């Protein structure tokens, strides 16, 4: 994601930074680091949210992993199963093979 940040410097001047960030977290980290390093503060920030990676996983069941580590009550073992919510894998075996790679 591209972002433009307007920092207000200690002497009252404005400082614009144009930079590309991995995601919103990266942007936040960068801003707080600059604020600390330069003793300035963020006045305004513009960014294109559409370019950012979604911070929320689209599948809450498996956090977008496609598999879940679960306790199988039928066989009484802890095992990898495919996530039945997003169905990334076609079977539990496929999920296991992926996980064991
Ligand atoms: Zn899932």
Please tell me the distance between residue 89's alpha carbon and the centre of ligand 1 in angstroms: 10
pLDDT in tens, 13-43: 999 999 999 988 999 999 999 999 999 999 9
pTM of the model: 0.48
**What spacing in Å lies between the alpha carbon of 77 and ligand 1's midpoint?**
21
Residue 89 CB partners (closer than 8 Å, separation 6+): 66, 67, 82, 83, 95, 98
pLDDT at residue 100, rounded to an integer: 84
Residue 84 CA neighbour count, 13 Å, CB half: 2
Residue 53 clears pLDDT 60, i.e. is over it: no
The alpha carbon of 85 and the centre of ligand 1 are apart by a number of angstroms equal to 5
Q: Where are the domains of the chain?
A: 2-51, 67-100
Q: How far is the CA of 25 from the centre of ligand 1 (A)?
A: 23
Average pLDDT over residues 53-81: 85
Ligand 1 centroid vs 101 CA: distance in angstroms?
Answer: 19
């Amino acid at each position: 994601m591209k972002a433009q940040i307007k920092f207000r410097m200690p002497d009252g001047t404005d400082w614009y930074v144009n930079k590309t960030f991995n995601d919103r977290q990266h942007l936040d980290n960068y801003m707080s680091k600059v604020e600390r390093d330069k003793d300035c503060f963020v006045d305004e920030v513009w960014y294109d949210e559409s370019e950012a990676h979604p911070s929320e996983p689209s599948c809450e069941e498996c956090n977008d992993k496609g598999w879940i580590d679960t306790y199988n009550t039928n066989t009484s073992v802890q095992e990898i199963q495919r996530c039945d919510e997003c169905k990334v894998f076609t079977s539990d075996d496929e999920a296991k093979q992926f996980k064991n790679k």
